[in-house]
Amino acid sequence: MSELAIPELCLVVLIGPSGSGKSTFAAKNFGRFETLSSDFFRGMVSNDVNDQSATKAAFESLNFIAGKRLDAGLLTVVDATSVQADARRQLVALARAHDVLPVAIVLDLPLSVSLERNEQRSDRVLENHVIRRQYDQLRRSLKGLGREGFRRIHTLSSVAAMEGASIRREPLLNDFRHDEGPFDVIGDVHGCLAELCTLLEKLGYKLIRDEQGRVLDAKHPQGRKAIFVGDLVDRGPDSPGVLRLAMGMVAHGNARAVPGNHEDKLVRALEGKRVQTSHGLAQTLAQLAAEPEEFRREVKDFCRGLVSHLVLDQGRLVVAHAGMTEAYQGRASARVRAFALYGDTTGETDEYGLPVRYAWANDYRGEAAVLYGHTPTLDAEWINGTMCLDTGCVFGGKLTALRYPEREVVQVPAEQVWFEPAKPLAPARESMQAESGSTEGATAEEAGERVDGVLKISDVLGKQSIQTGIHGRVSIRQEQAAGALEVMSRWATDPRWMPYLPPTMSPVSTSKLTDYLEHPTEAFESYNKAGVLSVICEEKHMGSRAVVLLTRNPQKFDAPRGWRGTVYTRTGRPFFNRKTADDFLMRTDAAVEEAGLWEELATDWILLDAELLPWSFKAEEMIRGQYAAVGASATSSLSDATGALEKALESGADVAEILGRLRSRKENAAAYIAAYQNYTAPSKGLDGVQLAPFQVLASEGAVHSGRDHMWHLNLADKLAAADPELIRATRRMVVRTDNSESRTAGTQWWQELTAAGGEGMVVKPLQNLTRRSGDSRVDKDLVQPGIKVRGREYLRIVYGPDYTDPRNLVRLKDRNLALKRSLALREYALGIEALDRLVSGEPLWRIHQAVFGVLALESDRVDPRL
């Protein structure tokens, strides 16, 4: 006898060939209305359960009813063969669309059982080859069910196992309806241990300390239980102390907790993943570094194990870090977790550079009280049965708790301002109105209409499919969108002023030459093979990719009067502070005027793709902390080692071979230092800063991707002539890929550039947007818009000082460029699509959808050295 555990609310998919006993199993273990049979629905739509021509309509009906049941919070079982991956994929998608977990119960009985039962059926008999095919499909599917998205998989491999199995329904991890409290729900602590201890004592808890005086637990004499709404860490003075107390309280049953976005980020950092250490995370990591390794592991396990939200007191109370709409309460999916951690952002940023959040509480009509934090407010107050308990303690405000069910607010003041807020705290209602942009009277959005300048999280959240004009549909996976949303909501330029993000660029195929990892030969061959006979080789500036939006018509971009534009990175972050940006844009405007481009392009705005130099302007900290540190360490250690070995050699020791290797490494280290020093230069304000534009992306009424690159570079030359201190021209050379002399000349030019300390060059089809010769497949025929060929010495920065060692080169040459190339094409197509939508006057959300897609694709795991 075995029990199969399933969540109380889920979508159960029975998987097995005809005759395996799915209907019998369902009738025994599930309720009369819980099981939806494909045979039944086939009969419903055609009056004949055997009518295979009705299958499509039957499944459309089944999925519709299943969706309605899941909406109502009812466990639902699908009784169909589901042996084909596509059929299962649709059911997994159905579960995700309704924020429930998909569960697979597989009846993997011997084929002979299904064949025998099929012969005994009186209602219908399938051909044996059909059942054999279904059985084969099942066998091929077994190992991949987890990858398909099923959260639990139960496999029954014999008749006895199937007959002896029973179902055990388990509450979801967020289901604490049985816990009726009373509770003390505490807002965002952010490392403010002293204030937390004071608040707990004010609430009546007794603090429990160890012999070192550290607070390990807090217990209420009347059995009350604390609930932390997340963001225990970052910004404040003692995040480890707060964690130690909260973890102790949870471990001893004196508290519960939900994760905040800061805990989510901390877990990723502790797991060794690459994260931005801003917003106080660096401080927390530094504090944790002083703690034992065991404690850090406990912190990681604790934070990772927290459930997105809690449903308490028979469903009358819900606690989540950023809030929880009624539709998501008691559900489990990535979408629900994302909402619980981050809330719902409009995609815009306010004047302080912070994300504008959708004021979900204004529209909340649920029966449960929702307590949350995340967005600091001056005071805690009820809004439609919800209350934000983050009153900005770490910013010098207050630490707030709500006694439940008494609904009494208890607060203690912050001991000091521990972290300067990005913007002043505002009252909850004022903050909510500001976030939602609400005004008196009915708005178009309230009337159910889509407002052009308003973004919705549904535009970008979850799986997306974006139609592009030059490359067909580009799909964005849910996890890609989630990663981009984090970047966009925290650091990006206002979406109104970010109509384009540049694509990634693929490096050239690995060189066949022994001493080179990259060489122009492969770039020329690649384009020649694609039928591109004329290419342009452009000097690759070692700077930071920059997009410049310059306008004399701020109204076009819904900007305030006097706004000139913006300059941002390839991930959407502003390059300059406001004052420096204004100075930069004023000079750029003057250069455009002097070059006559406003009149030539008949425009009052222009969008440029460029490089901002020097590299050290943006990457100075990285150069000092990463490259310079490596160079200094290598130089020092290798000098000492070679010196010692030289003395040993003089003494007659047999160390000549190892000394030779170390001398070579010392030379490599010196070359490494010289390589990165080529791209560092002093800069202050705009002094020493230069812009190297290489493409005019768009202007009023026109996207310029159809113009050849020489046209673009000639316009850039005019700008450089107008202000040579600020604007740098880009050197270039046209090469015929079908002419050996021309290719040789192109290679020699590349060698001259790199020998002089240049990064290398970018090889592009001269005609710009180009399709393969003789190939008309819209989704396959684009050629790479550019291929970078980096210099031998520059690649030391990328691959390390000793990458040129023959043994290392052999290993490095084994690199897979397929994903990088695919990303480059898809991002390029999305960028052009965003420009087309901008010039066509489409609403902001449509433009932003394509721009966001570029950033989402960037979250794919690709070797960063490529």
Provide the terminal-to-terminal Cα distance of the chain, rounded to the nearest Å: 55
The C-alpha atoms of residue 821 and residue 507 are separated, in whole angstroms, by: 8
Exposure string for 317-355, b = 16+ CB within 10 A, e = fewer = bbbbbbbbbbebbbbbbbbbbbbbbbbbbbbbbeeeebb
CA dihedral 487, 826, 458, 281 (to 10 degrees): -10
Q: Compute mean pLDDT per 10 residues along the chain, 866 residues long, and list them.
A: 89 90 91 91 85 86 92 92 89 92 92 81 72 87 88 90 91 92 95 96 95 94 96 94 96 95 92 83 91 93 94 94 91 89 71 66 81 90 86 94 92 92 66 49 43 68 83 86 77 87 92 91 94 94 91 91 92 88 93 95 96 72 65 69 72 75 73 70 76 95 94 96 94 95 95 89 93 53 92 83 83 87 92 91 84 88 80
Residue 6's Cβ-count burial label (10 Å; 0-12, 13-18, 19+) is buried
The Cα–Cα gap between 455 and 460 comes to 9
Alpha-carbon distances of 540 from 318, 457, 523, 537, 716, rounded to whole Å: 55, 37, 15, 9, 15
d(C-alpha 219, C-alpha 182), whole Å: 13
Confidence (pLDDT) at 52 = 79
Name residue 612's beta-bridge partners.
544, 691
DSSP result, 350-417: -TTSPEEEP-GGGG---SSEEEE-SS--SS--EETTEEE---BGGGTSEEEEEEETTTEEEEEE-SS-
- pTM score: 0.51
Residue 532 to residues 221, 707, 748: CA-CA distances in angstroms? Answer: 80, 16, 21
Parallel, antiparallel or unpaired: strands 309-312 and 175-176 = parallel
Could you give the CA distance from residue 583 to residue 429 in angstroms, rounded to a whole number? 38
β-partners of residue 536 are 734, 764
∠48-49-52 over CA atoms, to 5°? 90
CA pair distance 333, 67, nearest whole angstrom:
15
How many other CB atoms sit within 10 Å of the CB of residue 488?
Answer: 26
Tokens for 92? 């997994």
Nearest to 286 by CA among 336, 332, 323, 235: 235
In the sheet that holds 787-790, the strands lie side by side as 506-507, 787-790, 760-765, 534-540, 732-736
CA distances from 416 to 159, 193, 195, 398, 413 (A): 69, 12, 10, 10, 9
DSSP 566: E
Are the CB atoms for 26 and 79 separated by under 8 Å?
yes
C-alpha distances in angstroms, 510 versus 535, 737, 762, 817? Answer: 19, 18, 15, 9
Q: Give the chain's length.
A: 866
Beta carbons within 8 Å of 304's beta carbon, 6+ residues apart: 267
Nearest to 39 by CA among 53, 51, 31, 30: 51
Q: Which residues contact 603 (CB under 8 A, 6 or more apart)?
A: 699, 700, 701, 702
Q: How many helices (H) and strands (E) does the chain have?
A: 28, 34
Task: Tokens 């550290």: give the residue.
Answer: 214
pLDDT of residue 448: 41
- Angle (nearest 5°) at CA 108 between 103 and 109: 145
List, in sequence order, every residue forming a beta bridge with 442; answer none if it has no partner.
none
For tokens 């406001």, the residue is 578
3-state secondary structure (DSSP) of residue 815: coil
Query: At how many degrees (to 10) do helices 578-595 and 709-722 cross?
Result: 110
Sign of CA dihedral 415, 419, 424, 427: negative
Q: What pLDDT was estimated at residue 450? A: 46
Beta strands in 229-266 (DSSP E): 255-257
d(CA 846, CA 832): 13
Report d(CA 757, CA 790) in Å as an integer: 11
Classify 839 as helix, strand or coil: helix
In 3D, which of 198, 194, 187 has the Cα closest to residue 375? 187
Would you say 200 and 248 are in contact if contact means Cβ atoms under 8 Å apart? Answer: no
Residue 354: predicted pLDDT = 63
Q: Which of 738, 822, 834 is nearest to 782 (CA)?
A: 822
Which H or E run includes 733? Answer: strand 732-736
Q: Is 175 helix (H, G, I), strand (E, B) or coil?
A: strand
Round to whole Å and give the CA distance between 350 and 354.
6
**pLDDT at residue 329, as a whole number:** 92
Identify the DSSP state of 502: P
Q: Please check whether residue 793 is in contact with residue 511, taking contact to mean a CB–CB distance below 8 angstroms.
A: no
534-540 and 732-736 strand pairing: antiparallel
Place of tokens 């989704």: 779
Q: Where are the alpha helices (DSSP H) in 31-158?
A: 38-46, 55-71, 85-97, 111-120, 128-141, 145-148
Round to whole Å and give the CA distance between 786 and 540: 11
Please choose, from the candidates 324, 750, 274, 786, the residue with its C-alpha nearest in 3D space to the C-alpha of residue 527: 786
**Number of neighbours of residue 526 by Cβ within 10 angstroms:** 19
- Nearest Cα residue to 255 out of 333, 203, 293: 203
Could you give the 3-state DSSP secondary structure of residue 703?
strand
- Residues 366, 316: contact at Cβ < 8 Å? no
| C-alpha neighbours within 13 Å on the C-beta side of residue 789 | 28
